[in-house]
Structure 1
């Protein structure tokens, strides 16, 4: 344990984990102060941008020899999801280091380790006297865990972001499913379309049996959606990865006044993530047609999304080639997948910037958002080494 405690990256990682930047009311100022000290230790300039008041975006910049070239952006987020402390073996904000090298803490996999790995990789390169052609920006953003609307999305609309001239963004991914040494790379995301269905009909007494009641109308559309859901489940069970399957989940039911009254309206909310080949507008029109067939059922899209193309992962993308070749040289296998959820990379792709999610987390159980989220010291340090090599390769593309 003493050996691990004396590693600078481990000390910084544990210090960062102890900052309770946890939803629903994260205090970001301690994180900003932490990164101000970090930037000072590296001798690098830091800028803090608040596109939305109280939502700071930290930018630490290592200028390249050819600053006119599109830059490399290494991104992570400082916010973490809530915890159920009674289910943790060690307090979730203690950054407890066990005798066998595991650091417990909320955010240890999602994604406080990434900021440390990014910055420590840059430190190693600077100490080795390396100078890159491209500028590298290390960014740390707020609010990713609640959708990023007032974090990364708002930031990409600022003149400060445009001035960064980003050519590639690296964001988060996840540990490999088999706890092996592969590196999972997210090159795209499913398109989210959360929506609310509301059926309306004349109310009546619960003892009657009306035709075309509010329940009948809502049931018609729900049955169509659940038929589609069953077909997608079969794809998943056949071995198709989740990122290539459309997920359809009923998440909220609303309505009714009391048990003996057939109400005037009933509503249902759905979380739907469309597979990459499914057209957003076509899906929306299909649901609207079912609503029309049912009669007096409306569809309200709760958060407008746009469908953006995936980042190319072939020889036409020189950044991908640099990442792939570096990983192979270092003995790592890349596993490209479509992200089953959503990350801040979506906003970079929307802004026309290629983005890849890449979190080196070898020999790590998948514990994002789980009880006892933890990371082994060896995985943290190996990840620093991975980024050291990849940043060097990307910076000289």
Structure 2
């Protein structure tokens, strides 16, 4: 018996709300209910599920597979993460794990934007394509991974190193994007490299009543000036506060450490900086520049506590057949596209490191950006539109 569009829409919304009610929130996430939810959804669509546990038994990677007519072709991967960030419950006007559906067409919940709605759009698009009798040429894998919100070390980072991932034979991947207040759909085709730097500034110690030469704070002043000057120069390159963030190198002083007592001049003071290096910036040149600041300050040691990898960028041009297929589906639906470098980090970076093209995208346009914020919500109408868009995207990608 054919199912009406209204019935399918209601099923999709109910599936999303059920998923959002699972408090897969850090710390100490219990992924068991998420795994069971995925298994139930896959069973209702008629698709098999397998589970990999690349890092720990309690951190599953759940894989739903729709076999293509030509399974030897490289497959399409649609990835999402199951975990969500913590909430300040007193700041919410709706229960953060209640998935309340309001009369003005909103669904409130932690994870509604980041990124459980994406996952449901994938599944529901596949459901509808199967009901229409569509048979993809390429296999489609829909993956649900843990721990993205805490760096992905036990999630996608571990999974891509397994034989199970290799067996998926991924040719192209899609992952999360972000909501956007305008009409456009944002496309992520690359990310910045995540670094953590420490500057250990040393100097002469002594009594707080004495003006001795070369205190550590004198070196601190030089380093802070250089860090903040560089920060301002990069900030000046930002013409659009949202679209240009990923293009520039972000430098922020996050900690100052040192001293034991008010009247004791310390022998060293440490500056900690969070740095996100733009794909346009050469890593070796950056280190050379920062080391130069240390040399200028004198008696200052640079420690690279975390050196991010050089993150690849998926080219958005005529040479990328996957991009052309995705772009065609969006343009045929009269959707406008904004390609940007992701200002944060997603699991797509681990896939790009394998030289597999990957694009981040979610259909949440005309929606305020509320990921990790209080009262995170999506518009039901936009969510449902996204299912239709992913139908066309999957059609195009599997025909490449």
Correspondence list, 1:285-304, <5 A: 285-304=288-307
Match for 1:82 among 82, 86, 99? Answer: 86
TM-score (norm. length: structure 2): 0.95
Aligned residue number for residue 229 of structure 1: 231
Describe the superposition over 1:226-266 as per-residue Cα deviations: whole angstroms up to 9, x where unpaired. 11111112222587811212111111121210111111221
Which residue of 333, 343, 346 corresponds with 2:346?
A: 343
Matches within 5 A, 1:1-397: 7-53=10-56, 54-176=58-180, 179-236=181-238, 241-397=244-400
Q: Aligned partners of 2:382 and 2:41: how far apart in 1? A: 21
* Aligned mates of 2:136, 2:240 — CA distance in 1: 46
How many angstroms apart in 2 are the aligned matches of 1:384 and 1:303?
A: 39
How far off its partner does 1:5 sit?
11
C-alpha displacement of 1:26: 1.4
Distance (whole Å) between structure 2 residues aligned to residue 115 and residue 143 of structure 1? 15
Report Cα offsets for 1:269-306 as digits up to 9, x if no partner.
11111222111121122212222332332222232311
Structure 1 counterpart SS, 2:114: coil
Separation (CA, whole Å) in 2 of partners of 1:243 and 1:305: 15
**What is the total number of aligned residue pairs between the two structures?**
393
For the 8 Å contact 1:71–1:165, the answer to whether it is kept is yes
The CA distance in 2 between the partners of 1:355 and 1:161, in whole Å, is: 15
Once the two structures are superposed, residues 182-213 of structure 1 have per-residue CA deviations (whole angstroms, 9 ceiling, x without a partner) of 21100111222121222223421111122221
**Quick one: distance in 1 between partners of 2:97 and 2:364?**
20
Instruction: Please give the alpha-carbon distance, in whole angstroms, between the structure 2 residues aligned to 1:196 and 1:45.
Output: 48
Residue 302 of structure 2 aligns to a residue whose secondary structure is strand
Q: Report if the CA contact (8 A) 1:4-1:377 is conserved.
A: no
Distance 1:4 1:166 in 2: 33
User: What's the TM-score, normalizing by structure 1?
Assistant: 0.95
In 2, Cα distance between equivalents of 1:36 and 1:144 = 20
Misfit runs of 4+, over 6 Å: 3-6
Gaps of 5+ in 1: none
- Give unpaired runs (5+ residues) of structure 2: 1-5
Q: Contact 1:180–1:364 at 8 Å: present in 2 too?
A: yes
Q: Is the 8 A contact 1:4 1:101 kept in 2?
A: no
Shift of 1:365: 1.1
On the 8 A contact 1:4/1:10 being kept in 2, the answer is no
Secondary structure, in 3 states, of the residue corresponding to 1:366? coil
The alpha-carbon deviation at position 163 of structure 1 amounts to 1.1
Q: Would the alpha carbon gap of residues 63 and 69 (structure 1) be closer, same or farther in structure 2, given more than 3 Å must change?
A: same
